[in-house]
Amino acid sequence: MKQFLIIPVLFVLLYPVSGIAQKKAKPEKGFKSLFNGKTLKGWTTADMSWWTVEDGAITARITDDKPCEDNQYLFSSHGKMTDFELKLKHRLVSDHNVNGGFQFRSEHYEGDDCKGYQVDNNTQTDWLVRLYDEFGRHTLAWRGERTIFNEKGEATTTKIPEARVDAHFKLGEWHEYHLICKGNKLTLYVNGKLMAEVIDNDTAQSDASGLLALQLHSGKPMLVQFKDIWYKKL
């Protein structure tokens, strides 16, 4: 009788660890996965040697044995994105001061480089995350800022009190980035908290649509990883 009771209990205790815990998280309504967690299907670049899948994450690294002198980008094969929501988890690990992030509404530039909007991170700095314009106007909004560009490209910046710029977080840990692009408005959340926002009325320099690309920035040894990449068309 005791043995009969113990065996089912052990089964119930062990099953969540070996079965349920390994299941891939289901997407929220309306979102589709851009990464299957196993292969680089749906992603491409000229030099795929920089990119692998490790521990369920798209991975790239710079080492002393394999230095990187030019930025590397892995492009989503989904194509041009206009109005959308994007959710992904990202981390940037290094003992050095390094940079990294991902491009959106962007385009190929001078070969396999990338030009356009970017979510940009930098280790060993106070700002940590910002909205950026690669090969363009550079910083659009620092962490904790809302910037409005008028038709002439003139910027007006105000603070976002709830962004908590005093709250430091480690880029070497996993964080969820939630980007919403709707018309000329770009809104970035990190871990569910509003971090930066841009309203871009500068028609000469704004980007209405473009490609998604993950970045391995040139520089010191580092590890970059991306996972749980979800896209929703608006």
Residues 6+ apart with CB under 8 A from 166: none
Q: What separation in angstroms does the CA of 66 have from each of 52, 122, 126, 218, 219? A: 14, 21, 29, 11, 11
How does pLDDT run across 106-137, given as a tens digit for each residue?
Answer: 999 987 899 999 999 999 887 889 999 999 99
pLDDT given for residue 27 in this prediction: 66
How many domains does the chain divide into?
A: 1
How does pLDDT run across 171-193, given as a tens digit for each residue?
Answer: 999 999 999 999 999 999 999 99
Residue 168 counted as domain residue: yes
Residue 21 counted as domain residue: no
Residue 1 counted as domain residue: no
The answer to whether the beta carbons of residues 32 and 63 sit under 8 Å apart is no
Q: Is the pTM of this model over 0.85?
A: yes
Residue 99 counted as domain residue: yes
Residue 4 counted as domain residue: no
Please give the residue range of the domain that contains residue 123. Answer: 28-233
CATH number of the domain that 103 lies in?
2.60.120.560
How does pLDDT run across 195-232, given as a tens digit for each residue?
Answer: 999 999 999 999 999 999 999 999 999 999 999 999 99
